[in-house]
C-alpha cells in the first residue's frame, strides 16, 4: 500500500516507520520543515524513542519512507491516511481543534474515492462522525461511508517504547459504518504485528469495536480509569499520613487479592494523556462527579508535597529548595503537564526560592521552560518530582546541605538517607 501519516511527532513517526517495516510505501506529512528535512535524511528529529534511529534509517535507505510538508499531495498518492495531529485541551477541558482542523482540511484537498482515513489522536466521543466526516466531505466533495472509509483507532502507546507497545496491546478500530470498520481492521492487520497474550479474553490483534464512538470512548475510559485510580491512591496516602500508616504496605497487601488493582500515589500526574483525557471525557459528560473529583485530587498533590516539606522543615520563607526532576515521568524527556510547574509555584507561594535540576535537561533548556536552573546554589531542602533512574542512587553526599528531602515518588533508597529527614507521600 501507499500510506500517508499526518504529523511526524513522537507517535506519528514511529508509526510511519512501523508501516514501512512491513513493506508499505509511506509518506509522512508534517508542517515542520526541519522535521521533514531530518526524516528525509534518515535522522530522528527527537531523542528517546527506542530503536527509532536504526529503524528510521533502514526505512529511508530502503526507499519506503519519505516526508513532505505538502499534506494534500501526500494524501492524493495514498490509499490509507493515518492522522496523529495533536489536540490540545485547556484547563476547563475545552478542546482546541485548531491544528486538527487545519490538517483535516488539507487531507480533504487530496482525498480520493476509496481511501481509508484513520484518526488516532484521542478525541471527545462523537468527533469523528460529527466533525471530521462533514469537514472531509466539504473539502473533498466525497461522503464518508459511501465514497471513502473513515475510522477512529486510538494510539495506545507510550513514548520511549512505541514499537514494543504496538505489539503488546490490541489495536482498537471503530468506523462511521460497517464497511469503514471492516476496511480499518483490514488495514491495521496489514501493518502491525502482535505478541501472543493468553491473558486477554480474545486473541491479541485488531479488535473491531463496531463504531467510532465506541473506539473513542475506549481510549478516554482507559486513561480516565488510571487518573481515577491514582486519585483514590492519593486519597489513601493522605489519610495514611494523618494516621501514621505506610500506605505502600497497605496497597501491596490489597493488591495481593486478584480483585484489587490500586495504583501508586505520588506528587503529580503528568504527560499528554492521564491529566488531559479525563478533562476531555468531562467535556462529553460534565455530570461525571467521580472523574472530576479524582482530577481535582491529583491536581492538588504538588501543593500537598510542599505542605509535607513545610511540616518537616518549618517556615520556608527565603529557603533555597531544589526540585529534582523537570520531566513528567522518569526516563522521558518531556515536560507536558509535569508536576514540576505547580511544585515550583507552590514553593514560591510559601516564600521559598525554588531551583530545578534534571539529568535529562541542560540549564538552558530548563530556563527555556521557565524553570530556574540549579547552578550550584546552596540548597537546604529538596523535593523529588520525577522518578529518574539516576535518583535511585542519590545520597546525602550529593546534596550535603539538605536537611529534609520529600521523595514524591519513593525513588530514593531509605537506607541511604538515614540521618536526614526523608519524607514520602503516604507514610
Q: What is the pLDDT of residue 73?
A: 98
Spatial CB neighbours of 321, under 8 Å, sequence gap ≥ 6:
309, 347, 352, 353, 354, 355, 379, 380, 381, 382, 383
Percentage of residues in the chain having pLDDT higher than 70? 100
Closest CA to 86 of 18, 8, 170: 8
How many CB atoms within 10 Å of residue 367? 13
- pLDDT category of residue 48 using cuts at 50, 70 and 90: confident
Domains and CATH numbers, the chain: 2-209 (3.40.50.720), 301-424 (3.40.50.720)
Q: What is the pLDDT of residue 232?
A: 98
Burial of 405-427, coded b for 16+ CB within 10 Å and e otherwise, reads bbbbbbbbeeebbeeeebbbbbb
Sign of the dihedral defined by the CA atoms of residues 267, 327, 273, 48, in that order? negative
- 3-state DSSP assignment of residue 17: helix
Q: How far apart are CA 344 and CA 355, in angstroms?
A: 8
Q: How far apart are CA 364 and CA 371, in angstroms?
A: 10
Angle in degrees, 0-180, between the axes of helices 33-40 and 52-61, rounded to the nearest 10: 70
Helices (H) and strands (E) in the chain, counts: 16, 15
- pLDDT category of residue 159 using cuts at 50, 70 and 90: confident
Q: How far apart are CA 409 and CA 236, in angstroms?
A: 15
Q: What is the pLDDT of residue 91?
A: 67
Helices (H), 42-156: 52-61, 71-76, 98-110, 127, 133-140
pLDDT tens for 175-227 read: 999 999 999 999 999 999 999 999 999 999 999 999 999 999 999 999 999 99
Q: What is the pLDDT of residue 175?
A: 98
Query: Is the model's pLDDT at 415 over the cut of 90?
Result: yes
Cα–Cα distances (Å) from 9 to 86, 144, 157, in that order, read: 9, 27, 13
Provide the β-strand partners of residue 359: none
pLDDT tens for 172-185 read: 999 999 999 999 99
Instruction: Give the mean pLDDT of 68-75.
Output: 98
Q: What is the pLDDT of residue 90?
A: 77
Q: How far apart are CA 173 and CA 305, in angstroms?
A: 40
Helices (H), 285-330: 289-299, 301-313
Q: How far apart are CA 170 and CA 163, in angstroms?
A: 13
Query: Is the model's pLDDT at 111 over the cut of 80?
Result: yes
Amino acid at each position: 500500500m501507499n500510506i500517508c501519516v499526518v504529523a511526524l511527532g513522537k507517535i506519528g513517526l514511529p508509526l510511519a516507520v512501523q508501516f514501512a517495516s512491513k513493506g508499505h510505501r509511506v509518506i509522512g506529512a508534517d508542517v515542520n520543515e526541519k522535521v521533514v528535512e531530518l526524516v528525509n535524511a534518515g535522522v530522528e528529529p527527537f531523542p528517546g524513542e527506542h530503536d527509532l534511529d536504526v529503524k528510521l534509517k533502514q526505512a529511508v535507505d530502503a526507499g519506503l519512507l519519505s516526508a513532505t510538508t505538502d499534506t494534500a499531495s501526500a494524501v492524493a498518492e495514498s490509499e490509507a491516511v493515518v492522522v496523529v495531529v495533536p489536540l490540545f485541551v485547556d484547563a476547563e477541558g475545552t478542546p482546541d481543534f485548531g491544528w486538527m482542523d487545519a490538517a483535516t482540511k488539507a487531507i480533504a484537498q487530496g482525498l480520493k474515492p476509496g481511501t481509508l482515513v484513520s484518526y488516532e489522536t484521542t478525541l471527545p466521543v462523537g468527533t469523528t462522525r460529527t466533525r471530521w466526516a462533514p469537514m472531509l466531505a466539504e473539502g473533498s466533495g466525497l461522503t464518508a461511508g459511501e465514497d471513502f472509509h473513515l475510522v477512529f483507532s486510538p494510539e495506545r502507546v507510550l513514548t520511549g517504547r512505541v514499537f514494543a507497545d504496538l505489539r503488546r496491546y490490541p489495536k482498537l478500530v471503530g468506523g462511521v459504518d460497517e464497511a469503514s470498520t471492516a476496511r480499518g481492521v483490514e488495514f491495521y492487520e496489514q501493518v502491525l504485528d502482535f505478541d501472543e497474550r493468553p491473558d486477554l479474553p480474545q486473541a491479541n490483534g485488531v479488535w473491531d469495536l463496531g463504531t467510532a464512538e465506541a473506539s473513542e470512548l475506549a481510549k478516554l475510559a482507559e486513561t480516565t480509569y488510571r487518573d481515577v485510580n491514582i486519585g483514590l491512591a492519593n486519597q489513601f496516602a493522605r489519610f495514611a499520613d494523618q494516621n501514621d500508616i505506610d500506605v505502600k504496605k497497605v496497597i501491596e497487601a490489597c493488591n495481593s487479592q486478584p480483585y484489587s488493582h490500586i495504583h501508586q500515589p505520588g506528587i503529580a500526574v503528568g504527560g499528554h494523556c492521564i491529566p488531559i483525557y479525563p478533562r476531555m471525557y468531562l467535556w462529553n459528560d460534565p455530570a461525571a462527579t467521580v472523574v472530576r473529583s479524582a482530577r481535582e485530587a491529583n491536581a492538588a498533590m504538588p501543593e500537598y508535597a510542599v505542605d509535607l516539606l513545610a511540616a518537616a522543615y518549618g517556615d520556608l520563607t527565603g529557603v533555597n529548595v531544589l526540585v529534582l526532576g523537570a520531566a513528567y515521568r522518569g526516563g522521558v524527556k518531556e515536560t507536558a503537564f509535569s508536576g514540576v510547574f505547580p511544585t515550583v509555584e507552590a514553593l514560591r507561594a510559601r516564600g521559598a526560592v525554588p531551583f530545578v535540576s534534571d539529568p535529562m535537561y541542560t540549564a538552558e533548556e530548563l530556563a527555556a521552560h521557565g524553570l530556574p536552573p540549579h547552578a550550584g546554589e546552596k540548597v537546604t531542602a529538596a523535593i523529588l518530582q520525577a522518578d529518574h533512574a539516576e535518583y535511585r542512587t542519590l545520597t546525602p553526599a550529593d546534596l550535603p546541605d539538605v536537611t529534609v528531602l520529600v521523595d514524591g515518588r519513593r525513588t530514593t533508597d531509605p537506607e541511604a538517607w538515614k540521618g536526614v529527614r526523608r519524607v514520602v507521600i503516604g507514610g
